[in-house]
Amino acid sequence: MPVWILVAGLAACNSNNRSTNDHADSSRASTMTMSGDTAHSSHKESGMSGVGVAGSMDKMMTDMHQVKMSGNVDQDFALMMKAHHQGAVDMSEAEIESGKVSLLKDMALKITEKQKKEIQELQSFISANTIPAKNYDPAKKEEGFGEVMANNMVMMMGLPKMEGEQSVDQHYAAMMIPHHQSAVEMAEGYMRFGKSAMLLAMAKKMIPEQKKEIAFFEQWKDNQ
């Protein structure tokens, strides 16, 4: 059974008018299963669902919601970060294929190469830990690693809406900023609760790297 249970009607909330904390509080009030289609209906309305950057983000959200959590901090971080990385790879490949700005296409290529390598490392860890020992309760979303993961999913649901006049390059930059911020939040949370030396080293390396990439995308947007 999918573990990510969120508030009924949460996807209909306007993320521009509500804070992350407001979403987190609401997510604990009642439960329903959230699908990737519901979470990103705004992208579907843009007419770009299923293709390009928006379609890649929709697929990532669907994949993350369908992850079956094990109750082991290390295994679940690896499972979720693998799906999260795949979203970055898919969006970056859409930018490489359809973008026009060479600076962004070069960054997309770097992100693709780096995150594909980390996906392989994460998959190797997942495959080697087929029966992980439970050390937290994913259903407890107000404490420990369960809170980290629940808050991260709420954060992902607040990703920016696709604007009809945006180019592929503009949308890629706009989406990669909160996408990377979400990865940083997850990695920082894992650093508090994780046990695997390999995954801790990956998270420690990932945090400054993705913060640097966030700054790159923010600077590019500011210069437009």
Higher pLDDT, 189 or 19: 189
SS3 string, the chain, reads: CCCCEECCCHHHCCCCCCCHHHHHHHHCCCCEECCHHHHCHHHHHCCCCCCHHHHHHHHHHHHHHHCCCCCCHHHHHHHHHHHHHHHHHHHHHHHHHHCCCHHHHHHHHHHHHHHHHHHHHHHHHHHHCCCCCCCCCCCCCCCHHHHHHHHHHHHHHCCCCCCCCCCHHHHHHHHHHHHHHHHHHHHHHHHHHCCCHHHHHHHHHHHHHHHHHHHHHHHHHHCC
pLDDT in tens, 52-109: 666 666 666 666 666 788 899 999 999 999 999 999 999 999 999 999 999 999 999 9
Q: Which of 27-36, 45-54, 85-94 has the highest mean pLDDT?
A: 85-94
Domain count, the chain: 1
Distance CA 124, CA 154 (A): 28
CATH classification of the domain holding 193: 1.20.1260.10
pLDDT at 79: 95
Residue 18: which pLDDT band, with cuts at 50, 70 and 90? Answer: very low
Distance CA 189, CA 191 (A): 5
What pTM does this model have?
0.73
pLDDT at 184: 96
Q: Which domain holds residue 176?
A: 5-222
Percent of the chain having pLDDT more than 70?
67
pLDDT in tens, 136-178: 999 999 999 999 988 888 877 766 666 667 788 998 999 899 9
| Structural contact between residues 5 and 153, judged by C-beta atoms closer than 8 angstroms | no
